[in-house]
Each structure stands twice: as structure tokens, then as C-alpha cells.
Chain A
Amino acid sequence: MARASPADPRPRSFDAWLAAAVLLLTAGGLVMVYSASAVKAGTELHDQFYFLKRQLVAAGLGLGLLLLGMRLGARGAEKLAYLLLGVTVLTLVLVLVPGIGRVAGGARRWINLGLFSFQPAELAKVALVLYLARSLARKQEKMKLFSIGLLPHLLVTLLLVGLCLLQRDFGTGVVLALVLFAMLFAAGAKVSYLLGAVLLAIPVAWRVIAGTPYRMQRIQAFLDPFQHKEGAGWQMVESLLGIGNGGWLGQGLGQGKGKLFYLPAAHTDFIAAVVAEEVGLVGIALLLLLYAIVAWRGFRAALRATDPFACYAALGLTVLITAQALINLSVVFVLLPTKGLTLPFVSYGGSSLITLLGAAGLLLALSGDRGGFLARSTPSRGGASAAGLRPSAEGAR
């Protein structure tokens, strides 16, 4: 019943809002990556365009993947879900093998592919979304059951999170967990189970944090960054100074000072601080607006999906992008302790940009589908609820 026939008569449309938001984020990201990395690249690698060139190549590949994702559509993605999950788990394990996994910044996260390094954790996010969407769509009626609705999903997610943690990638773990909870919640899992899982997760998370000295230091530094200015708080302090220095309109594009070796990871995880410093609150507002558009179109796509898989996949991808953006910004704004997450579409990082653009392509395909699974089953009330939701999502601009 829930599966719509492949020959859906409804016309497909192109979501220009979503496409524009994603492309603007990517383009703005290229500008900011250059601005944030030119000095570092010029000084250390004697080529101020070093990072920009690589990011341009990644953007090109990503756009290709985006078009592929659009062609693939919900059907193709559903078929690929398990394959992708398998590849992800395999590569996540491979990364841990010395000789294959490449270490950078104290973390073994990359697989060297010659010209490029590939970061499987980025793939894991999309793989988990597709797996959960497919699995949840099939178990619709049995979601309330612990053993069927909760346990398998929890185990798969825990496996992925665990592999990420082995790569010292706490940030991806958090995003994966959030995606899992959002999707389980939407698919009708009992709230009590979810709360229970959270309660169980807290001591585990505490162990993970307290058990690794660098994470503990980050927490302490987060609580009072200026006290730890010379150590773990340095990055946060520099981030805050740059953001504050930006003010309303910023110092002007290219005029930021944080990138002069003050702010670590200026072109990757902390690129938002450079945006804030150079383009000011206006730039940050624009950034939030673009993510809000992505979120709005994503939730809208979920509500208007033709079938459960499309619905859950749209929701999962939307939560993935939105949560990662919000967590990254929260870290940069020192609302959360430092994690190690990129700002979607904007930060330097090939694996992240390519997979996210691929995911965006899929979301575009889902967003292009018109109505179906939710609207059809509850013609009046479902439509009303969807209509009622829209403004709130829009209000997030």
C-alpha cells in the first residue's frame, strides 16, 4: 500500500529553492575557503590556491554526483541502501588498518586514493540515512515493537558510531545518533524507548569523553575558554575574537585576521568564524537563511513524499545537513564543545563536499516528487498538518 507504483502519473518538478540554496552555499564556500586558506597555503605550501584548487575539483565531482543523485531518485537510492551500508562498514574498518588509513591531525580518518584521500565517515552519514529509510519504510506497522522497530536500527547505528569513535571522530558519531533519533521518532518509535536509549547513552557518552584526555580538556576549555587561552581554549578564543571583530558588516572579504595563523582549522571546521569576521552578522544571517531554506525544502519534501522510503530519506538527509550545520555553528560560536565537524557545503574537505552534494542531489530528486504517501492516507488532516508545518519551517530563516 505504501509503495507507490514506479509509473507515478504525477508530474515531477524541479526544486529551484533547494538547488539554489545548495549551489549558493557551495559557491560561497569556495570563496571563503580561498580567503581562509590563501595565507596558510601560500606560506606553508607556496601555492596560495592549493586548497581552492582541490576544493574546486571536489565541487566538480560533487556536482556530478548531485546530478547522478537526481537521476537515481528514490527508487534507485532504495536499491542502493544496503550496498552503501556494506561499503561504508568495510571502508570504516579498512581505515583502521595501518598502511591503508592515513593519519592527519592525530586522527586516522582517511583512505588514500592517490590523488585524493577519502573519508569513509562522511559516507557513513548518507549510508545510515538510506538504510534507516528503507528499513523503517518496511517495518511501518511494527515500529512500536522494541525488537523490530528499535533494536536493529540501534545496533547498526551503534556499529557505525563505534567505528567513528575508533577514528576519534566524535562529531560524526553525534550526527549519526541525531539522525537515528529523528528518523525513529518520525517513523513512530515509542518515545519512552527513545528516552530510555538517551538515558542509557549518557553514561556511555560520559565514559567516551572522560576516557579520552583530549575530549575532557575540550570540555573544560569550553566551559571557560579564556581561562584555557594558551591551551585547549585557544581555538575557541580565537573564534570568538574573530566573530566579535566582524560586527555587523565584517572587516571586508579577505580582510580577516584570524586566518593569519591565529585560528586553527580556519578553512575547515572553523570557516564560519572567518565568515563572521569578514562578512559580519550579515554573512552569518545569509548562511543561516540558506540552511533554513534547505531545511524548509527538506521537511516539505518529507511531508509531500510519494512513499515512506522517500519520506524518511528526505527527513534523514534534511536532519543530517541541518544538524551538522547547526552543530558546527554552535561549536564555532562556543555553544558546544569542539567536535570536529565540517560546515556542510562550505568547509574545505573533499569527502564531505562530494558526499553532501550527492545527498543534496538525492534530496532534490525526492523534493521533485509530488505528494503521495502522507497526503493520500489523510487527505484533509494530513494536508492541514503539512500546511501548518510549513510556516514554522519557513520561520527558521
Chain B
Amino acid sequence: MAGGGRSTRWVAVRIGAVAVAAVAGFAVVGARAVQLQVVQSEKLGAMARDQYVRELDWKPRRGAITDRNGAVLAQDVEADSVFVDPEELPERRGPALARLAKVLSVEGKALERKVARGGRFAWVKRRISPDESAAVRALRIPGVGFAKESRRYYPRRELAAQLVGFVGDDGDGLEGVERLFDDALSGEASRVPSLRDARGVMLLKDAPERAIEGARVELTIDQGLQLAAERALSRAVTQARAAAGMLVALDPSTGEVLALANAPTFNPNTPRRGEVLRNRAVLDSFEPGSTFKVFTLVGALDAGVLRAGDSFYCEKGSWRVGQNVLHDSHPIGWAGPAKIIAESSNICAAKVGQRLGRERLQRTLMAFGFGEKVGTDLPAEPRGAVPFPRAEVALATMSFGHGVTATPLQITAGVAAIANGGTLLRPQLVRRVVDPARGPLLQAAPVAVRRAASPSAAAQMARWMEGVVTEGTGKRARLDGWRAAGKTGTAQKVDPLSGGYSADKRFSSFVGFAPAEEPRIVIGVFIDEPRGEVMGGEVAAPVFKEVAEHALRSMSVRPSGGDPAPREPEPVAAADETPLPSVEQALRTARPDRGGVAVPVLEGLPARAALQVLERVELLGETAGTGLVSRQAPAPGTVVEPGTRVRLTLQPRG
């Protein structure tokens, strides 16, 4: 019994010893946990994060470029890019690759070489069309895969191509506004921490905080007017078999460029190289010719050396200045300033220039913005040359626009200063740049560069310029329904080989504005090297007429008094007693806002006009009944996505 007692006591002691060992075990494991999770936590945690967390460059979708009303000119769309994994390709890869190459119209040999290079990835073709994508999918070749990439798409193709520009393969803006606002359009790439699992799959935990789309650039151009301008210009260039044509349309009260056309043009969806990409209306300077007489005479008016009643002898078309002889294309005898402008006499313009003097002529031209950059910020924008006219003949020729150079945009902006009463406004190409997250980055406001002429001189010149259209060299610019004013120009071009003036190369232009009494639009039309008929009044003025009439009609500008009614009278409004709201008024109520459109006020409009307004702001209309719009849903002012359907309830008038 005693032995049993002893042994059992020892059992208790030994169990205690085992328990102590367990305690030691717990202590060691606990201490290790503290060591790993407290002492080394930072180091190990950093290594862990190194492994799990990968910073992803989250590149926002490139912002859209729109016209002043929100019509999209450039936007990003998703496109498939095709790649192959050579290891997954079928055993006999030759025929499969040949079929693939054929569907995608890529070179079969080049594709084989790419695949033979080894590795597990090779691009076949990037950013393919949906049709191509469907065709490749139909082939069902194992090892052929697709990746989504964004592609720049220009839905209106050639429209304002040189102004909008285009992007390169990697999405960087290469030309035009795409290049000028590349940073804003691209937006800021945000680095998004994302999880990577051990198989390499990325798991995006948080949506990026920043905008997923770059800023939207809203141009000042109106795509409707732009289209009309491009069509008219292109037709004129073709008819005159000219090398090129340029057109600038400005709002004389704001300096906003409403249309900026170049011919020939290109489709930015399939980029090409060469001269055709050049925005010549902004970037090329020419010797302007007779359009500059306007500035010479305005300068003389303001200098007090010219009065409306003055008379000059125009030498019957031939006048020797030093060793040179000046000629007029329409020889005349005695002429007042109105006739000098209307008949475009070089000789008399030179005589006015002599009265003005070298310094004041140069100063006048510079006051109108020549010899300095317009300030569009487009790369390589030229100043143009306004040299000091040292020689007698230089003073004479500069008076009628030779020996100086200017861009079409500069010339049109100068005439706009006449149209608005003497203030030179900075031409603007961009209205707004709006970042979806941060709001407007840029909001253009009219910028008055300087007073270039007194209001009275500008008004006087405007009246003289109206004479050009009514009875002078620019009769073909006469508008149906509105009074127009303008000035023709037909400059000899410098022959690059001889260095002298070329016998047959001309730079023909017409710059004018309308309605003459209260100008709403200034349009400069420039035809480079027309063949056959070369006079500006013949090749350029008709383009002015066509574009100006389109602009005034679409702006619903009231016809000038005394003139015949516009060709297209408003169909239903004519009979009505109370004036109906105009299309233009309705459009003004639809201010595009951050990519959305405010539903315009349509009440009281005839159905056709209402639908026209909706179409202009990219909304869809749906009518019920006949007559005038009595109700609309959504309510006016509601900001909706473009393409939203607006229901219009119509009621018969009265």
C-alpha cells in the first residue's frame, strides 16, 4: 500500500512535469508569435505587400472632342486586338495562320515570322473592326485571343480633320487639337493598387478615385456650318482645279471660329501622311493681295489723311513707281475711296499708302494683328511678315497686300475687326475644356487684343465694302435676303524658282461679312493656285455666298430690310400673327453640360422645327398629334444623355 502511495505520488509529480513541458511549449510558440507579428511585422508585412499588391496604371479613357453644340467629333471606342499564343496553335499551324492573315488582311509571311520568333505572345493585328473581329472568332483557331483596347474614332470622318487632328498608335495626340490638348484629353493616369493572386490574376479591389475619362474638349466650330463650309470649299477647289482651299468663319462679336475648313482633306480614321494633314488655314502664310487695301484705307481714315469725299487719279491702269510699273486689272480714272475698294485699284491704294506713310502703314497692319501670332497655341503657328517698307515700291505694293504675308485666320480676324466696329478679337478654336471630375479646366471668353480702328472708320469701311458686293469686284458674293460686305483679293504668288512673281500662280480670296448692317458672321475664303478663272471675285466669292447664307439661315438671322425674302421662308410661321420662337432661340436653351444636353424649350414650335432642334442637339424626338408643340417630356432644362428620346405633344394652332 505504501509503495502504491509512493508510486501514485510520483505519478502526480510526473504529470506535473509533463504539464510544465506543455507550459514551456505554449511559451515558446507564444513568444514566436509576438516576434513574428510585432517585432518583424513591418518587415514581413512589407514583403507580403510587395507580393500581393501591384500598382496598376489606370489610364483614363481619352476625352471626346465635340463641336460647340456637343456633337462628337472624336471619341474613344473599344476595339478588339488579336494576338496568338504560338504554343496553343494547332499542330499544323501553316493553314490556320494563312486563314487568319487573310481574314485580317495582314501579310501571311510576316505573321509566320512573328509566330516563329517563339515566346507565348504575338500581336496579329491591333484595334480591328467589329466585322474583322467576328470573322476571326468564326475561324475558331485555338491559341488566337482577343484583348480589348481603345481606339480613337472620328464619327464625322473628314469633318474638321485638320483642326481636330488625330492620335498615334499608342493613343498620343499627334496633330491638331488632339495634340494641343493631349494632356487634358488623356487625363491623369492614376496608380491603382490592386491585388495579384499567386496565379498572376489581378483583382481590382477599389475603383479608381479619379476620373475614368479625360477632359472633353468643346470646339467653337459648329459642325453643321463646318460641313457646309467644307462642301462649298471642296467644290470650289475642284472646279477651279486649285492646289488647295481654306475657309475661316468667325463670329465677329466673340472671335469664335465657327468653321475652319481645308481642302483637300482626309479621313482621320485611316491616318495618312503629307501636306493634306496640315491645317493650312492657321499654319500657312501667304501674300494676301487686295484684301489688305481695306486695312490701308482704314489706317488712312484714322490717320486723318483720307476722307470719304477725297478723290484719286488711278492712272488708267498703269503707273510707274521708281523703276517699277503698277497695274490695275480694272483700269479706271478718277475715283473716291469707295470706288477704289469696289474696283480694287492697286494704283490708288498705293497712292493712299503714300499719304499714310511707311511707319503708319506698318503700324496699322500690326494693329490688325499681322506680324504677330494669333494665339491659337497650335504648334508652329506663324507670325506672318510685316516688314518696314523701306523702298518706294515696297510702300506702294504693301498698300495693296504684297510684300507682306498673313495666314487666312489672321486675314479673316482682321476683317472681323472691321465688322465689329474696330476691335481686334483673338480668334478662338476651343470653347471649353471640361474634366468630368474636376469641372471646367478652360472656359473661353472673348479676348479683345486691341482697338485696331476707330468705330467711325470701321463703319465707313464696312459701307465701302458693301459696295464691293453690290457693284464692285465681289458681286458674286451677293446674298439672297441679306446685305453683305467684303473684299476680293487676287495675289500673284512668288515663284520659288525665279524668286520673282509667277506669271500664272495666284492666291485668290474673298473676305466678307453679313448682314452688313449688323454682322453676325465673317467668312474668309482662300483658293490657292486656281487655274483658268483666277479672280477672287469669281472663285472665292461664290463660296462665301453659299456658306454665309447657310450660316444666316441656321442662325435665323432676320433678312435685311428692302431685300428679297430668304429663299426658304419659315414654313408655318409666316401666316401666324404672334411671332413664334425661333429654332435658334430654342437651341440656345439647350446648353450642353458635362456631356449631357439640357432639353431645349420647344413649346410653341412647329413639329418640324422642334425635331430639327432636337436633331441639332443630338436628341431624338417623338411626336403625337399635329400642330405646335404644347407639351414636352422631359421638361425643358432637364440634363439628359445625348440620344435621349423627347416626347412632344402637339396641338393645332389657335
Contacts and interface: CB of A to CB of B under 8 A. Distances in A.
Interface string A317-338: 0010011001001100101000
A244 B44 CA distance: 5
Nearest to B18: A182
A260 interface: yes
Contacts of B36: 240, 243-244, 276, 333
A260 B33 contact: no
A382 B198 contact: no
B11 A288 contact: no
A247 B14 contact: no
Interface residues of A, number: 63
B52 interface: yes
Given A188-B14, A281-B33, A295-B19, A244 B47 contact: yes
Contacts of B20: 392
A284 interface: yes
Interface in B525-566: none
B376 interface: no
A291 B23 CA distance: 11
Interface in A366-394: 373-374, 377-378, 381-382, 385-386, 388-389, 392-393
Contacts of B44: 240-241, 243-245
B316 interface: no
B37 A378 contact: no
B2 to A, nearest CB: 10
Interface string B78-89: 000000000000
Given A243-B44, A281-B33, A260 B27 contact: no
A363 B638 CA distance: 75
Contacts of A378: 5, 8-9, 12
A243 B7 CA distance: 45
B307 to A, nearest CB: 88
Contacts, number: 174
Contact of B37 (A248, A311, A392): A248
Contacts of A280: 37
Q: Give the size range of B's interface with the partner.
A: 35 or more
B290 to A, nearest CB: 77
Interface string B159-175: 00000000000000000
B13 interface: yes
A326 B25 contact: yes
Interface of B: 1, 3-5, 7-20, 22-23, 25-30, 32-34, 36-38, 40-45, 47-49, 51-52, 195, 197-199, 203
23 contacts: A140-B4, A242-B48, A243-B44, A245-B41, A247-B38, A260-B195, A280-B37, A292-B26, A295-B22, A299-B22, A311-B15, A329-B29, A333-B29, A333-B32, A374-B8, A374-B12, A377-B4, A378-B9, A382-B12, A389-B19, A392-B19, A396-B19, A396-B22
Interface of A: 1-2, 39, 140-141, 143, 182, 185-188, 240-248, 257-258, 260-262, 276, 280-281, 284-285, 288, 291-292, 295, 299, 302-303, 308, 311, 315, 319, 322-323, 326, 329-330, 333, 335, 373-374, 377-378, 381-382, 385-386, 388-389, 392-393, 395-397
Given A281-B33, A378-B5, A378-B9, 15 more contacts: A141-B3, A188-B10, A244-B43, A245-B41, A248-B37, A257-B48, A258-B48, A280-B37, A284-B30, A295-B22, A295-B26, A315-B15, A326-B29, A373-B8, A377-B9
Q: Please name the 10 residue pairs, one residue from A and one from B, whose CB atoms are nearest each other, closest first.
A: A244-B44, A260-B197, A261-B198, A245-B48, A241-B48, A389-B16, A396-B23, A326-B25, A281-B37, A257-B52
